[in-house]
Structure 1
Amino acid sequence: MPSNQTPDDELLRQFRQRLSEMSSEEIHGILHGVLDASGRAVRRPERPDLRHPPREEPALFTLRVDLEHASPPIWRRLELRSDLMLEEVHGILQTAFGWFDAHLWRFAAGGHPFDLESQLFLCPFDVEEGEDEGLPASQVRLDEVLSTSGDRLGYVYDYGDDWQLRLLLESVRPAGDGSPPARALSGRRAAPPEDCGGFTRAEDLAGVLPDPAHFDLAELQRSLELADLDPASYGASAVLTAVVTRLPPSPVREDLLARSLALATATDAPSAEEKRTALRGVSWFLDHAAGGGLPLTAAGYLKPADVESASRVVPEMTDWIGKNNREINAFPLLHFREALKHLKILRTFKGQLLPTRRARPAVEDPDALWSLLAQSLIPPPGSFAHDATVLLLAHIGSTPSGTAVEPQATPKALDRLGWRTREGGSVDRWRVRDLPAATVLRNITPEQDRRAVRGDWSDAARALAREALAQA
């Protein structure tokens, strides 16, 4: 022991070391023993099995769900099918209270979710860690833990903020054919927002919520319906569905499900002439590359005369500063050309730009070029570029004409999917803006202006985004 360290310091060090090796339930057990007047040693009891046999026929459970310690009370009354798995009930609770499924959670029967005497039903992370004794929530039905009126079930979400919910079974009735898994019946007051610090009192929530008294039953019911929606059942884009279904329950997921529905029912498409006009920037490169090739300088840039010519038709070059005769200084033009190469519309060969083999049949056919671009915008699955492009196309294609796309919408969804920069930070709007698909779509417009730079995508760009999602 160092000379400047007392015996008490050494005991404290050992205590902290032991504490760091304990599970959360063991810590709760020790605290319980410390406060026990009898001073009895804490033993880890065997957890009881409190489950009931599942019902032979599904029933509808009316549950009142209260947020513990809330003042005034914050609660929801829900009608749930009895054959839901607890993991599905977790998703419904996340929707009902407006949380994002970004933290750990668990259910408990017979006591508090951290009591040693209660039976635990764990989230996937806790199951994998194996520190707490419990069953996977994905393998236990709701009617195995709630059976008759008056039964209770505990739930905690976010072990830091410690949102504790108490589920009380109020009534049971038979489930009819086609009964939805969840229905909102009533409720009171807005739930605390994610990561607000554990606030449950109205005076504290007033600092983090616009209106702590707000509760909209119709809004909650719509959220539950969207959360349960199967996009494939109404012909939604398969590639968009694959991305959206990976999102945890949250307003972001609900918004994208609603957009999926809007995209599936959209029918408007530009005419061949409208396509020809909107595609003139792409066509300029394709036509010149097909007509003997576009020569490049030794440094790999377009020659000055071609830069000037292309700048007159590529929409993003409108009002660009400078003479626009050097591609290295004409950044929008350079990025547009590189994006067309990335989409395999153009290729470089022996110092020239040439059309790719797949692009040659579309040189003078606007319908064929339109279809080719739609097939080329989305990268292969399994990458950041794939997810970001799919989400961006969904936001562009589903936003009404003349309305700017919210620039943070796609970054927020990417954050919910878990994508981060190499430095560990959140993806920002500029990384989304630099996607090849975004660069191309900003230049799909019948007008020679730069509105798309501000997020006001043209109707043609919106239509191409929809077609890309439909074809993928």
Structure 2
Amino acid sequence: MQIKVWLIGISPMVWRRFLVPNTCTLRELHGVIQVVMGWEGIHLYQFCLRSRRYGSCEISASSPDVTLAGLRLRKGARFVYEYDLNIPWRHEIRIEDHLPGEPGKAYPRCTGGDGTCPPEDCGGPGGYLAGQDEASSLDALEDLHTMADILRTVVIERRPEVLDDQDTRWQLEDAVDRSRARERARGQPFTRRSVNARLRKGEHLNLMHQQ
């Protein structure tokens, strides 16, 4: 079964395409989505399908141990997966095709995708987009200029003694700390190779039992 999943309310689009057997349960699908998207499995989740919720037992949802085949999902069917129910990350899932398994191929398998998954606990879509704006703000540019100016003085002008000045050192350290925080806010880049390596290790089987 070929499935496409993407984050709702995020631009540019963050999406993944992957293959799973139709014997895959919604619980297993939760684990697969966690891996292919880049989540950590630390929050509650639910699937919203045909006016019914399947997911974490803490939210009194129906059991996610139902298979995709048992749900009789047709080609083109869509439903929603929500992760972190306090400030939900909403994903739209589309069944793109029903494909026979290929002998010798491992499943699940990621076949495509694009976009960096947001970091956990960044305030949902609104917080993530605000962080992206801040990463390209004038404050971010000023921090880059600060680091470049001080490093030029130390390396090019060969005046390392400027770092003996406490104010200069604090100015550099603060600029570096803010820049590192902005980099973390960008999230983990997506690569199909690393995702499939994690799937082959069975990480989705561990993540499907979390929360």
TM-score range, shorter chain: 0.5 to 0.7
User: Which of 1 and 2 has higher RCO (CA within 8 Å, sep 6+)?
Assistant: 2
- The residue that corresponds to 2:4 in the other structure is 64
Counterparts of 2:200 and 2:47, CA distance in 1:
23
Q: Does 1:218 align with 2:151?
A: no
Q: Is the 8 A contact 1:149 1:171 kept in 2?
A: yes
Q: Does 1:97 align with 2:33?
A: no
Contiguous gaps of at least 5 residues in structure 2 = 136-181
Return closer, same or farther for 1:104/1:208 CA change in 2, 3 Å cut-off.
farther
- The residue that corresponds to 1:135 in the other structure is 62
Counterparts of 1:146 and 1:167, CA distance in 2:
15
Contiguous gaps of at least 5 residues in structure 1 = 1-60, 111-117, 128-133, 230-244, 250-415, 417-472
* Displacement of 1:141: 0.5
Counterparts of 1:126 and 1:215, CA distance in 2:
30
Return closer, same or farther for 1:174/1:193 CA change in 2, 3 Å cut-off.
same
Question: Where is the strand percentage greater, Structure 1 or Structure 2?
Answer: 2
- The residue that corresponds to 2:57 in the other structure is 124
Counterparts of 1:125 and 1:212, CA distance in 2:
28
* Displacement of 1:199: 3.1
Counterparts of 1:136 and 1:178, CA distance in 2:
32
Q: String of CA shifts for 1:108-152, please: whole Å, max 9, x gaps.
A: 113xxxxxxx1111223234xxxxxx42002x1022335222101
Return closer, same or farther for 1:181/1:146 CA change in 2, 3 Å cut-off.
farther
- The residue that corresponds to 1:265 in the other structure is none
Counterparts of 2:3 and 2:79, CA distance in 1:
10
Query: Which among 87, 112, 121 is matched to residue 186 of structure 1?
Result: 112
Task: Give the secondary-structure state (helix, strand or coil) at the position aligned to 2:34.
Answer: helix
* Displacement of 1:157: 0.7
- The residue that corresponds to 1:144 in the other structure is 70
Return closer, same or farther for 1:73/1:137 CA change in 2, 3 Å cut-off.
same
Query: Which among 13, 16, 24 is matched to residue 73 of structure 1?
Result: 13
TM-score, length-scaled by structure 1:
0.31
Q: String of CA shifts for 1:284-339, please: whole Å, max 9, x gaps.
A: xxxxxxxxxxxxxxxxxxxxxxxxxxxxxxxxxxxxxxxxxxxxxxxxxxxxxxxx
Q: Is the 8 A contact 1:189 1:213 kept in 2?
A: no
Q: String of CA shifts for 1:234-291, please: whole Å, max 9, x gaps.
A: xxxxxxxxxxx8x647xxxxxxxxxxxxxxxxxxxxxxxxxxxxxxxxxxxxxxxxxx
TM-score, length-scaled by structure 2:
0.66
Counterparts of 1:88 and 1:218, CA distance in 2:
20
Q: Is the 8 A contact 2:7 2:89 kept in 1?
A: yes
Q: Residue 193 of structure 2 aligns to which amino acid in structure 1?
A: A
Return closer, same or farther for 1:120/1:93 CA change in 2, 3 Å cut-off.
same
* Displacement of 1:62: 1.0
Task: Give the secondary-structure state (helix, strand or coil) at the position aligned to 1:121.
Answer: strand
* Displacement of 1:228: 5.4
Map 1:258-273 → 2, pairs under 5 A? none
Counterparts of 2:202 and 2:129, CA distance in 1:
28
Bigger Rg, which one? 1
